[in-house]
Structure 1
């Protein structure tokens, strides 16, 4: 039910349900982060993100994408930099942020500056290189 509320953007109902839950787990926390990020309420998303015991890939990507939607590329980049091991989904979210602001050259520069952290066999990363050119 929590997921349905967030997907429909019914965050007041989602928050009420979340608050009434006896036991919250990683999935419920992440659902709230993603829900708020999807509607562009990054303040609320960040509050939940900061309160999570353990951030996960979905929470990171939700935050990156949410900040990107709001045009806050620098903040999205800071969240991306927190990702322990960036994967295809976090790279895709970051690429989308830069693309929305027509900053693909900036992404290319970032990837080149962090070559040691990028798996050179990852087709996703190579796809980003090609789109950046």
Structure 2
């Protein structure tokens, strides 16, 4: 069966809504990006598979970003943090937080995503050294 990959004017989310919550949960579980959902008190109420792998290494900075979103309604985009490590190797993540609710007075919780950017950070750090070696 061929797959129609053209985008129509209506939202893809409108089409996806016919699948229900089990499809959304299955989608979230497949992501390599950690996805957390917290209630208005900051308690984690959902973590996908990638998030459950990293939950033990969460630094205080993640709680601070989550708190900012819950208390002020601020949307946090691509804030880089250093993660804790059980292996001794430094790891880095890009964190985004979006408050959930109709208004600042009615924030019900927040969604926090965390993408590992360790390889990119190491590449950026090595780039000047590689360029120096190339000039030799």
In the superposition, the TM-score normalised over structure 1's length comes to: 0.28
More strand by share: 2
In the superposition, the TM-score normalised over structure 2's length comes to: 0.28
More helix by share: 1
